[in-house]
Amino acid sequence: MQKVSAAIGVFGIVTVLGVTEGSAQAPKKSAPPAGAQSKTALTAPAIEPAAAAAVNRMGSYIKSLSGFAIHAEIATDEVLVAGPKVQYGGAIDATYGAPDRLWMRVAHDERDDQQFFYDGATLSLWIEAKKQWASVAMAGTVADTITGVESKYDVTFPLGDLLARAARQDLLKDVEAGIVIGTGRVAGVECDHLGFHQAGADWQVWIEQGDRPLPRKMVITTLGEPSQPQHVEILTWDLSPKIDSAMFTFTPPEGAQRIVIAERKAAKPATTKKKVK
Amino acid sequence: MKPVTSSRTRHVTVFVLTVALLTVAFAPVHAQRRAVRATTHTSLNQNRNTNVNVNRNTNVNVNVNNHGGYYNHGPSVAGVVAASVATAIVVGAIVNSLPPNCTTLVVNGLAYQNCGGTYYQPQYQGNSVSYVVVVHP
């Protein structure tokens, strides 16, 4: 019995790697090759129940919190047009007040610092270096607003996986395979280390062990590029932050210029002429 | 004493010449060498647009001279720059930096840039500000 389950475990991991390879080699991203699908189907279950349970527990815990502050250190590989892979760094500071307050500052190499403000009614964006701001009317929880903004506008909201998709239990929506890799330490904290695969990406998350199942690290590997660039977030959490309600509302300073946020185009861009205001 | 000095001088001369040659050779392609493909997933959101920012950090006016070398090879560099040049003044074209000497005008509370008679509207797109060419607002 022991041997059988061990064999299934090993086969499961091999299958995960196999699926990964198949997608990486696919020249254009479309539906995953039929072979990969059937290979997954051979081994039950593609997503280990323990891995799914850990992610769902993390999501429920994040959703249950009344407020928190996050500091995240970011490293993002980019593939240059000429071929080489380079790494850019960044940092995010965010303060959240349940259910509909968020402030965030995003610093990233080669980009101007950006701040986001959401007070339950308006989501504003402020780029101080350019004295430019934009804002859109939104409503609902922070998770709903992030999801709404990402579906309507051409924006990838920083930490959106953890602030929106984890809290909405959406993280596993597109996952095709998942395993518990083991345990690992992030900044000295013991974590469960999980690995998942979905179309175009492998991703890993390190979730704090014990009664605070918080994500402490996340790595997303892009499979569509031969050099498989990675995006890494390492997070520290403060679960009793100082919250000043004024910090969630943006008031444009004198001389600031209002700009628009580009709307997300339909899958086929090009030919349809964009309406100009 | 003497041989040491002349050897050092020769080394310095060679070094200066090398730096000068490298500067001349690579200066025109400096901007495009840093152009990123922007294909890395930074989120698991499946909605994301791809290839929106292929031209990021690419200067429209760079002189396309490929001198070979690790950061310059590949036909796509010339292709991307050529595409930028060809579409730069068409309404709806998107660039990531403005030509010099633009003036700001505000219409209905929104900012525009007038750069020698071509109007650009700044927009937040793909997590940075780009500029879309518009008709006179």
Alpha carbons B30 and B27: distance in angstroms, whole number: 5
pLDDT at B72 over 90: no
Distance from CA of B100 to the nearest CA of A (A): 15
Of A248, A246, A241, give the one whose Cα is nearest residue A138. Answer: A248
Among the partner residues B33, B54, B92, nearest to A274 by beta-carbon distance: B92
Which residue is listed with tokens 């927009």?
A: B123
Q: Say whether B40 and A225 touch across the interface (CB within 8 A).
A: yes
* Total-model pTM: 0.74
Average pLDDT, chain A: 86
Q: Which CATH class is domain A2-258?
A: mainly beta
- Chain B residues whose CB is inside 8 A of the A231 CB are 40-42
> What pLDDT does B42 receive?
94
- Chain B residues whose CB is inside 8 A of the A264 CB are 47, 49
Can you tell me the mean pLDDT for A241-251?
A: 96
Reported as a pLDDT band with limits 50, 70 and 90, residue A26 is very low
pLDDT at B88 over 70: no
pLDDT at A40 over 60: no
> What pLDDT does A200 receive?
95
Query: Nearest-CA residue of chain A relative to B79?
Result: A81
- Annotate B32-85 with DSSP letters as a single string: HHT-B-----SS--TT--SSTTTTTT--TT-------STTT-STHHHHHHHHHH
Of A186, A232, A177, give the one whose Cα is nearest residue A207. Answer: A186
> What pLDDT does A244 receive?
94
User: Could you tell me which residue, B68 or A200, shows the higher pLDDT?
Assistant: A200
Can you tell me the mean pLDDT for A173-200?
A: 97
pLDDT at B77 over 70: no
Distance from CA of A267 to the nearest CA of B (A): 8
Distance from CA of B20 to the nearest CA of A (A): 23
pLDDT tens digits, one per residue of A192-244:
999 999 999 999 999 999 999 999 999 999 999 999 999 999 999 999 999 99
Q: Say whether A110 and B57 touch across the interface (CB within 8 A).
A: yes
Among the partner residues B40, B92, B125, nearest to A154 by beta-carbon distance: B125
Interface test with A, best of B26, B29, B40, B52 (most A CBs within 10 A): B40
Residues of chain B by 3-state class (helix, strand, coil), percent to 5: 30, 20, 45
Reported as a pLDDT band with limits 50, 70 and 90, residue A252 is very high
Tokens of B120: 């650009």
Reported as a pLDDT band with limits 50, 70 and 90, residue B7 is low
Alpha carbons B137 and B114: distance in angstroms, whole number: 10
> What pLDDT does B48 receive?
58
User: Could you tell me which residue, B26 or A181, shows the higher pLDDT?
Assistant: A181
- Chain B residues whose CB is inside 8 A of the A150 CB are 45, 47-48
Task: Lowest mean pLDDT of A22-31, A70-79, A106-115, A221-230, name the range.
Answer: A22-31
Distance of CA A274 to the CA centre of its chain: 30
User: Could you tell me which residue, A119 or B74, shows the higher pLDDT?
Assistant: A119
What phi and psi values does residue A57 have, to the nearest 5 degrees? -65, -40
Residue A181 and residue A168 in contact, taking contact as beta carbons nearer than 8 Å: no
Report ipTM for this prediction: 0.77
pLDDT at A161 over 90: yes
- Chain B residues whose CB is inside 8 A of the A230 CB are 40
Residue ranges of the domains in chain A?
2-258
Can you tell me the mean pLDDT for A247-270?
A: 86
Q: Say whether B126 and A174 touch across the interface (CB within 8 A).
A: no
Of chain A, the percentage scoring pLDDT greater than 90 comes to 77
Distance from CA of B4 to the nearest CA of A (A): 41
pLDDT tens digits, one per residue of B28-40:
455 677 888 888 9
Q: Say whether B37 and A80 touch across the interface (CB within 8 A).
A: yes
